[in-house]
A = this chain, B = another copy of it.
């Protein structure tokens, strides 16, 4: 998911795009950041209940390197860091939203309890 992969050429635009938003948490992080506009590290951690600090940090860094999110540090005590979507990241939202709607329909069909994002 990180640097390495992007070094070898993507086979095509679909391949390229999936590499950038693949991974277990990227979709959800982007979606949350869209819904709430700006979120602190701790808020994201609470929102994504199953994530560990390591994975959260790692995923946030990858998204940042990919210019899909922005990181703003407030140098104060206690520290405060805010994350938000970049323009490029925001362009992905319609896609994620449609995918989410599709997911909702499928989950109903399969009788999963519908869990809202």
Contacts and interface: CB of A to CB of B under 8 A. Distances in A.
A53 interface: no
Given A106-B16, A106-B88, A115 B10 contact: yes
Contacts of A31: 14
The complex is assembled from copies of this chain, and their number is 2
A15 B48 CA distance: 11
Given A11-B48, A11-B49, A28-B11, A16 B107 contact: yes
B11 A104 contact: no
A22 interface: yes
A103 B50 contact: no
A108 to B, nearest CB: 10
Contacts of A49: 11
A59 to B, nearest CB: 13
Contacts of A91: 102
Contact of A27 (B14, B24, B50, B114): B14
A112 interface: yes
A50 B9 CA distance: 11
Contacts of A96: 14
Contact of A92 (B20, B21, B102): B102
